[in-house]
């Protein structure tokens, strides 16, 4: 059995970054990862830009009655140079005319018969200078950046469409368990609905990868072997749930070995998720990485968030940028056994307090519908007192 930090270290250091990239239309890039640095082809703003609707003039002239010599809408090149005692009416986003060094807000002026009086002086210049935000030739985003709406705006501004992004890894999902039926079926009294596969596919998609579901394998070595071979052949990474513990029907580790998967660890000192398996398959076409997650729904959920997700981001040349915040625990947290590091679902409320959630253990996935974070109780720790600062991994 190894510690969680070691397991994470092994997993992350095994990830060989995907070098294949593709060009994708800008509007399809949300959640994708940049495959190269992005350079701006222009200055932003591209010209000295008015930040207000108002009058462009000389700051030295504000005490005078100013003659309006031109109206400058956005998208129009000013034709006239501002001289002494002159101004041009200008709109937000329009190019500031030559000769002007400030824009007086329209709210601070009074216009009559082609002349303007400034009623309130001493305001800001209201001009955004050319290249204030970005310079032509600047690297505006770097390779490995996760594309969120703000990056999409920057990519659009610098004319990057289509966008070079890292190929999305295909993550195959396989469920094992003779008790499992698909969600559309009514289980008999001895059956369980397969929730892990659908949850894992959603987690994979949320991490910006492609999910591929291969179905339920009964706890039968031939069936597991056949379905595993297919998943390995058609994916970059395979996630399997169930069948990795010590039960009489947990055949997976042996079948993995027969399929060329070299297991790097088979047990981690964590709760939930102790029988988590990770292996590498070298020198064969198809998947290079294999994760075997214990079948209990919370184990599958948490192990994906804390182990598989960071791995997938590393594989894509990035890092998982989920927020961790320090916050105060609302109530005492106590447990009996301290031999493993434990992940607990919590709710971080708007006051910055961390509330625990009614949670019955690793089958109780419903608890996670009320959680927005996960905290860790370290190995050896029996109690965390109310008001202690804890690190919350935000998972929404
Ligand atoms: P296992 O790891 O195969 O021993 O399974 C542990 C527990 O998780 C058992 O109660 C299983 O019925 C349950 N389980 C296994 N696979 C799934 C699944 N795909 N969806 C929901 N529950 C599952
Ligand atoms: Mg099972």
Q: What is the pLDDT of residues 310-325, one digit of tens each?
A: 999 999 999 999 999 9
Closest CA to 305 of 286, 291, 284: 291
Residue ranges near ligand 2 (ion) with Cβ within 5 Å: 177, 242-243, 295
Are β-strands 237-241 and 289-293 bridged in parallel, bridged antiparallel, or unpaired? Answer: parallel
Superfamily of domain 21-43+133-166 in the CATH hierarchy: Molybdopterin biosynthesis moea protein, domain 2 (3.90.105.10)
Domain boundaries, the chain: 4-18+167-315, 21-43+133-166, 49-128, 324-394
Supply angle C-alpha 151, 152, 157, rounded to 5.
Answer: 95
pLDDT of residue 127: 98
For the entire predicted model, the pTM comes to 0.94
Q: Which two tokens stand for residue 347?
A: 């709710």
| Residue bearing tokens 């703003």 | 45
In the three-class reduction of DSSP (H, G, I as helix; E, B as strand; rest coil), residue 303 is classed as helix
Give pLDDT, residue 194: 98
Q: Are 392 and 373 in contact (CB under 8 A)?
A: yes
Which has the closest alpha carbon to 93: 136, 47, 125, 59?
47
The reported pLDDT for the residue numbered 187 is 98
Q: Which two tokens stand for residue 13?
A: 């250091």
CA dihedral angle for residue 279, residue 211, residue 284, residue 258, rounded to 10 degrees: 50
- Cβ atoms 392, 354 nearer than 8 A: yes
| Residue 70 host element (H or E) | strand 66-72
How far is the C-alpha of 91 from the C-alpha of 114, rounded, in Å?
Answer: 17
| pLDDT for residue 250 | 84
Specify the ligand 1 atom closest to the Cα of 296.
8
CB 194 less than 6 A from any atom of ligand 1:
yes
Q: State whether the beta carbon of 245 lies less than 6 angstroms from ligand 1.
A: yes
297 lines ligand 1 (CB under 6 A): yes
Check whether domain 49-128 has CATH 3.50.50.60, yes or no:
no
Residue 192 Cα to ligand 1 midpoint, Å, equals 8
Residues 229-262 as b/e (b if ≥16 CB within 10 A, e otherwise) read ebbbeebbbbbbbbbbbeeebbbbbebbeebebe
Distance CA 69, CA 79 (A): 10
Along the chain (396 residues), what's the average pLDDT of each consecutive run of 10 residues? Answer: 97 98 98 98 98 98 97 98 98 98 98 97 96 97 98 98 98 97 98 98 98 97 97 98 86 92 96 96 95 96 98 97 96 96 97 95 95 97 97 96
Measured distance CA(58)–CA(67) in Å, rounded: 12
Picking from 101, 54, 55, 50, the residue whose alpha carbon sits closest to that of residue 76 is: 50
Residue 275's nearest CA partner among 291, 289, 255 is 291
Q: How many CB atoms lie within 10 A of CB 179?
A: 17
Ligand 1 in contact with 179 (CB < 6 A)? yes
Which ligand has the nearest atom to the CA of 218? 2
The string of pLDDT tens digits covering residues 355-390 is 999 999 999 999 999 999 999 999 999 999 999 999
- Distance (Å, whole) CA 116 – CA 133: 32
Q: Which CATH superfamily is domain 324-394 in?
A: MoeA, C-terminal, domain IV (2.40.340.10)
Cis status, amide bond into 20, omega within 30 of 0: no
CA distance 282 to 16: 12
Q: Tell how far the Cα of 297 is from the centroid of ligand 2, in angstroms.
A: 11
pLDDT reported for residue 7: 98
125 burial class (0-12, 13-18, 19+ CB within 10 angstroms)? middle
User: pLDDT at position 245, please?
Assistant: 84
294 in contact with ligand 1, CB cutoff 6 A:
yes
Question: Taking the CB of residue 137, how many other CB atoms lie within 10 A of it?
Answer: 11
User: For position 249, what pLDDT does the model report?
Assistant: 76
What ligand has the least distance to the C-alpha of 296? 1
Q: Is the dihedral of CA 115, 119, 122, 124 positive or negative?
A: negative
With CA atoms as reference, report the closest residue to 333 among 381, 379, 367, 394. 381
275 alpha carbon, closest ligand: 1
CA of 127 to the centre of ligand 2 (A): 66
Q: Is the shortest distance between the CB of 90 and ligand 1 below 6 Å? A: no
Mutate to test the pocket of ligand 1, among 174, 187, 189, 192 (most ligand atoms within 8 A of CB): 192
Please name which of 223, 258, 260 lies closest in space to residue 243, comparing C-alpha atoms: 223
Q: Alpha-carbon distance 56 to 51, whole Å?
A: 11
Q: Are 217 and 174 in contact (CB under 8 A)?
A: yes
Q: Cα separations (Å) of 39 from 28, 36, 141, 209, 237?
A: 20, 10, 7, 26, 32
Q: What is the pLDDT of residue 251?
A: 86
Q: What pLDDT does residue 244 have?
A: 86
DSSP code at position 250: -
4-18+167-315 belongs to CATH 3.40.980.10: yes
């Amino acid at each position: 059995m190894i510690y969680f930090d070691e397991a994470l270290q092994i997993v992350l250091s095994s990830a060989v970054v995907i070098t294949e990239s593709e060009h994708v239309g800008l509007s399809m890039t949300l959640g994708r990862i940049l495959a190269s640095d992005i350079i701006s082809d222009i200055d932003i703003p591209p010209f000295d830009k008015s930040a207000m609707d108002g009058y462009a003039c000389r700051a030295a002239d504000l005490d005078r009655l100013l003659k309006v010599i031109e109206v400058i809408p956005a998208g129009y090149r000013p034709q006239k140079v501002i001289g002494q005692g002159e101004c041009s009416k200008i709109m937000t986003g329009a190019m500031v005319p030559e000769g002007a060094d400030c824009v007086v807000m329209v709210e601070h002026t009074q216009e009559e018969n082609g002349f303007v009086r400034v009623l309130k002086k001493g305001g800001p210049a209201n001009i955004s200078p050319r290249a204030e935000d970005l310079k032509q030739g600047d690297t505006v985003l770097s390779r490995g950046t996760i594309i969120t709406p703000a990056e999409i705006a920057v990519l659009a501004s610098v004319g990057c469409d289509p966008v070079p992004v890292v190929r999305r890894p295909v993550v195959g999902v396989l469920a094992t368990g003779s008790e499992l039926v698909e969600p559309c079926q009514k289980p008999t009294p001895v059956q369980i609905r397969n929730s892990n596969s659908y949850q894992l596919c959603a987690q994979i998609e949320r991490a910006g990868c492609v999910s591929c579901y291969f179905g339920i394998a009964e706890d039968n070595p031939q069936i597991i072997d056949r379905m595993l071979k297919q998943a390995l052949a058609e994916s970059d990474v395979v996630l399997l749930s169930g069948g990795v513990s010590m039960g009489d029907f947990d055949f997976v580790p042996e079948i993995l070995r027969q399929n060329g998967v070299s297991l790097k660890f088979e047990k981690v000192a964590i709760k939930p998720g102790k029988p988590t398996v990770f292996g590498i398959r070298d020198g064969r076409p198809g998947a290079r990485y294999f994760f075997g997650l214990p079948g209990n729904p919370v184990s599958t959920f948490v192990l994906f968030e804390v182990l598989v997700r960071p791995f997938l981001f590393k594989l894509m040349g990035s890092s998982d940028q989920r927020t961790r915040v320090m916050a105060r625990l609302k109530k005492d947290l106590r447990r009996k056994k301290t031999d493993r590091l434990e992940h607990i679902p919590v709710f971080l409320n708007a006051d910055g307090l961390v509330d625990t959630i009614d949670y019955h253990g690793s089958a109780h996935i419903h608890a996670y519908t009320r959680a927005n974070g996960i905290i860790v109780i370290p190995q050896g720790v029996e109690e965390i007192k109310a008001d202690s600062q804890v690190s919350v991994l935000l998972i929404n």
